[in-house]
Structure 1
Amino acid sequence: MASANEGAVVSQADLTALAERLSQVEQYLHVDEKRLRVAELESRSTEPSFWDNADAARSVMEELARCREDVKLVETARERLADASAALELADELEGDEAAELVAEASLTASELEASIDQMELSSWFTGEFDHGSAIVTIKPGQGGLEAQDWTFMLFKMYMKYCARRGWKVTINDCPAAEVIGIDRATFTVEGRDAFGMLRAEAGVHRLVRISPTDDKKRRQTTFAGVEVIPVLPDDIEIEVAPDDIRVDVYHASGPGGQGVNTTDSAVRVTHLPTGIVVTCQNERSQIQNKAACMQILKARLYELELEKREEALDQIRGPKHTIGFGNQIRSYVLYPYQMVKDLRSGVETGNVEAVLDDGDLDPFIVGYHRWATGNAEPLSLSEDDLDE
């Protein structure tokens, strides 16, 4: 469409196409129902006893804010679409610079609208219970020894850049330095609109091919890291953890590169004895805060485990579990003998590896995955060549 290109001249046909897309998105987002829901929740929030249950009240206010935002996004888009259409109609009645200015204004509005509708369309694909909420991301080294620990650190930095690009808030729960290079693991919480829905596209095995920085003979090395993405549970979901079922250990905190986070035994490791799940956190200054963060992550993982028991596979939350090694990768990052990043599910690829790893330009891959996963693109049939890349 013309408005998709910066500096292109928009036409009424382009605006009509945008209006049709906006109507579809409005249906997908159930905006009419959300308008009614806003009125209902606003009425509840004015009741005298509304804040008697603070947790329930906060949950209502959070839902109200989300519904208001969806309604406002669509209403604002419709207003801007009407403005662009009116500008083009007026331009037809004028000549010279005045007409050109109105056309340029309408074209810019259409371009911005298209980007906004793209984002709303993406959000409409997120129909899971936790898709619109926050996420807990864990990265662990797989096959590849020391190289895998370095690769884990590279992925950690890539996701930090991506979250910054999207304006999400990140809390680093745990990121201990490895003894020689890289990090042992990383766990961080991401807060922002659609954070879990977006980031669950990243769950799986990530493969790196490059010249080894630790090999004196400069041989090509293939390494792997695994990414786990689970939702932060809403307050209205209760997961009971008996005090006798956990062991809490404290130790000195350390960060990437070996620097001390602080000089006290504030880092906390919580072990859930019945399941063997271990959660660590060293981001906060006090044991109490670190233990609270550990318990939040532990409860999310116990909830995930319960779903797994019920349904045998956790595809809707984290994707199938595989060994973090050969044959199980979802995406390959090749730095040598050529440069390419390729997602083996959606087929999205780029030769600009620096933009992906250094700048966190992951939207093409994440959007591409969701388009593929929701049936908005033809399913990709992986060849043996793809799996060997």
Structure 2
Amino acid sequence: MFDKLQALADRYEKLSELLCDPDVGNDPKRLREYSKEQSDLQEAYEAYTEYKSVVEQHEAAREMLNEKLDDEMRDLVKMELDELTDRKQELEDRLQILMLPKDPNDDKNVIVEIRGAAGGDEAALFAADLYRMYTKYADTQGWRTEVLDSNVNDLGGFKEIVFMISGKGAFSKLKYESGAHRVQRIPVTESGGRIHTSTSTVVVMPEAEEVEIEINDNDIRVDTFCSSGAGGQSVNTTKSAVRVTHVPTGIVATCQDGKSQNSNKDKALQVLRARIYEKQLQEEQAKYAGERKSKVGTGDRSERIRTYNFPQSRVTDHRIGLTLHRLESVLNGDMDEIIGSLTIAAQTEGLGEDRGDQAV
């Protein structure tokens, strides 16, 4: 591992030299490529640089213990040595995680689909809560959001909403959100004050570029229809809404939130590419892991990755056993602790698998 880290450090420093080269500065393509490569290496480089410094300090402290010292100084050196030993181990663990193979989709934008599942109108209202939670979280990250398609019920909930979140690292942070989300609360439609359980499903897909998923015009069927819901005078009068069907796979994408038929078709194709790409990823993962751990499932009440319990102001992620008693702040976009814990759990699992492979 340390040979790889040294090679990484050498490359990072070489990139620093290249980025100072006037020829590179005058070449936007090379400048962009080198800057991105260095940015990808930076976290591991800084951790490795600190690790080497801690190792040097650790060796110096050990040598000092062999010298003639008074009791007070010896105690101070031992204390420093203990702290350096702990820090050295922390950095070694962190470096092992940083050297794990990176998901090639991590830096991509994402397309998110949220659907009301079990629970009727209440499930649709909860879908709207989830949409608001993700957009609020996106705001805290400096990401942009854009609705691609939506289907609103009479109470303002979403039977379905599809939207894009654009920003660096969006997929890396949101990819663990796919699954069934369960809510426990008294619905606004409940007159008897009883707590109901409903679910909404979330799918998070990396945006697929045209070069990754090429769609042949002969393989798609495009249908137009009148938009429904809020949208101005053109709603229900002009056929601006678009439905695109990928005939070979049967995958369908619709969009009616754009201002024109052309913009809706472009957005529908974006969603279609993402869905085809996601299908390919699932098929590849199935070869090695059987059934996807993050599958959406049917949306049945018994299938869930997370529960939002309003009476107890509690959020529980069942995959990692994390419970937080601050539901309101989470629904307002304060998701860092949940997402951070899920990321660490996934990295730790990946580290265990990597060690298992090495043992074999």
- Asked if TM exceeds 0.5, the reply is yes
Q: In 2, are the aligned partners of 1:38 and 1:67 still within 8 Å (CA)?
A: no
| 2:314 alignment partner, one of 324, 334, 340 | 340
* Match of residue 300 from structure 2: 325
Shift of 1:43: 8.0
Distance of aligned partners of 1:317 and 1:303 in 2 relative to their CA distance in 1, 3 Å threshold? farther
TM-score, with normalisation over the residues of structure 2? 0.71
* Match of residue 374 from structure 1: 347
SS at match of 2:268: helix
Q: In 2, are the aligned partners of 1:151 and 1:182 still within 8 Å (CA)?
A: yes
SS at match of 1:369: helix
Whether 1:228 aligns to 2:203 is: yes
Q: Distance in 2 between matches of 1:306 and 1:72?
A: 31
| 1:280 alignment partner, one of 247, 254, 258 | 254
Distance of aligned partners of 1:266 and 1:32 in 2 relative to their CA distance in 1, 3 Å threshold? farther
Q: In 2, are the aligned partners of 1:29 and 1:70 still within 8 Å (CA)?
A: no
After superposition, residues 170-185 of structure 1 pair within 5 angstroms as 170-185=145-160
SS at match of 1:270: strand
Shift of 1:223: 0.6
Q: In 2, are the aligned partners of 1:246 and 1:270 still within 8 Å (CA)?
A: yes
Shift of 1:298: 1.0
| CA deviation vs aligned residue, 1:33-59 (integer Å, no higher than 9, x gap) | 3444576799898599x89xxxxx5xx
| 2:140 alignment partner, one of 143, 165, 175 | 165
| 1:64 alignment partner, one of 25, 28, 34 | 34
* Match of residue 259 from structure 1: 230
- Percent identical across equivalent pairs? 31
Whether 1:201 aligns to 2:176 is: yes
* Match of residue 129 from structure 1: 104
Q: In 2, are the aligned partners of 1:229 and 1:318 still within 8 Å (CA)?
A: no
| CA deviation vs aligned residue, 1:61-106 (integer Å, no higher than 9, x gap) | 6543323435677899989xx9xxxxxxxxxxxxxxxxxxxxxxxx
After superposition, residues 33-48 of structure 1 pair within 5 angstroms as 33-36=11-14
Q: Distance in 2 between matches of 1:228 and 1:127?
A: 21
| 1:306 alignment partner, one of 272, 280, 302 | 280
Distance of aligned partners of 1:134 and 1:62 in 2 relative to their CA distance in 1, 3 Å threshold? farther
Q: Distance in 2 between matches of 1:69 and 1:137?
A: 26
Letter in 1 for 2:130: L
Q: In 1, are the aligned partners of 2:109 and 2:167 still within 8 Å (CA)?
A: yes
| 2:215 alignment partner, one of 232, 241, 244 | 241
Q: Distance in 2 between matches of 1:299 and 1:280?
A: 12
* Match of residue 70 from structure 2: none
Whether 1:365 aligns to 2:338 is: yes
Q: Distance in 2 between matches of 1:199 and 1:34?
A: 28
Q: Distance in 2 between matches of 1:242 and 1:183?
A: 32
SS at match of 1:375: helix
Q: Which runs of 5+ in 2 are unaligned?
A: 54-90, 353-360
Q: Which runs of 5+ in 1 are unaligned?
A: 1-23, 52-56, 83-116, 380-389
Q: Distance in 1 between matches of 2:300 and 2:196?
A: 13
| 1:350 alignment partner, one of 299, 318, 324 | 324
Shift of 1:126: 7.8
Q: Distance in 1 between matches of 2:98 and 2:145?
A: 20
* Match of residue 75 from structure 2: none
| RMSD of aligned Cα (Å) | 3.9
Distance of aligned partners of 1:129 and 1:252 in 2 relative to their CA distance in 1, 3 Å threshold? same
Distance of aligned partners of 1:123 and 1:142 in 2 relative to their CA distance in 1, 3 Å threshold? farther
Shift of 1:199: 0.3
* Match of residue 100 from structure 1: none
Distance of aligned partners of 1:321 and 1:205 in 2 relative to their CA distance in 1, 3 Å threshold? closer
Letter in 2 for 1:259: A
Letter in 1 for 2:11: E
Q: In 2, are the aligned partners of 1:204 and 1:319 still within 8 Å (CA)?
A: yes
Structure number with bigger Rg = 2
Shift of 1:178: 1.9
TM-score, with normalisation over the residues of structure 1? 0.66
Shift of 1:27: 4.9
Structure 1 window deviating more from structure 2 (32-41 vs 325-334): it is: 32-41
Q: In 1, are the aligned partners of 2:100 and 2:350 still within 8 Å (CA)?
A: no
Letter in 2 for 1:248: V
Q: In 2, are the aligned partners of 1:348 and 1:364 still within 8 Å (CA)?
A: no
| 1:190 alignment partner, one of 143, 152, 165 | 165
Distance of aligned partners of 1:27 and 1:319 in 2 relative to their CA distance in 1, 3 Å threshold? farther
Distance of aligned partners of 1:299 and 1:363 in 2 relative to their CA distance in 1, 3 Å threshold? same
Shift of 1:215: 1.8
Shift of 1:342: 0.8
| 1:149 alignment partner, one of 124, 142, 148 | 124
